[in-house]
Amino acid sequence: MLNALEVFTTVVVGLMVGVEFAVAFVMNRIFSALPEDSDQLARSHGGRMLGALMPVWYFTSLGLAAVWAIAGWHRPGAGLVVIAAALLVLSVIMSVLLLVPINNQGKTWTPENRPADWKEQMNRWDRYHYARVAVIIAAFTLLVTALV
């Protein structure tokens, strides 16, 4: 049963990493290349859509890692899982304190009501997001290593 939990947790976290990596290095670059107001409209829509999904995914990933750490405390690699869980906690803290406030504003913007500095705010969100992606990649790497 613990083996199934380990694999399931690793897959869930890995898929989350893939989505966040794609947002950072694929989707936002595509959005930035769109003409006129399309970049801002795409980011607003993405903020609404992923803003509803990702909190559940982050907390589920964290919960699974915590259960793995507790259930597998006696097994080799438990320390790696604990560190991975701590990194997932850090990613949630980063999200709540840094990214969600910007996202909550950005998802309501239209070309008519967006602030003059909307691009600067999106660039700040991107920088925070790159850091968060690095944190969750590190957590995922530790989980994969703990499986071995």
**Angstrom distances, CA of residue 131 to CA of 28, 115, 136:** 15, 25, 9
What pLDDT was estimated at residue 110? 92
On whether the CB atoms of residues 68 and 9 are closer than 8 A, the answer is yes
The whole-angstrom distance between residue 6's C-alpha and the CA centroid of its chain comes to 20
Query: For 4-52, what is each residue's pLDDT tens digit?
Result: 999 999 999 999 999 999 999 999 999 999 998 999 999 999 999 998 9
How far apart CA 92 and CA 147 sit, in angstroms, is 23
Given a cut of 90, is residue 95 above it in pLDDT? yes
pLDDT tier at 91, thresholds 50, 70, 90: very high
Query: For 123-147, what is each residue's pLDDT tens digit?
Result: 999 999 999 999 999 999 999 999 9
DSSP state of 66: H
How far apart CA 56 and CA 39 sit, in angstroms, is 26
What pLDDT was estimated at residue 36? 86
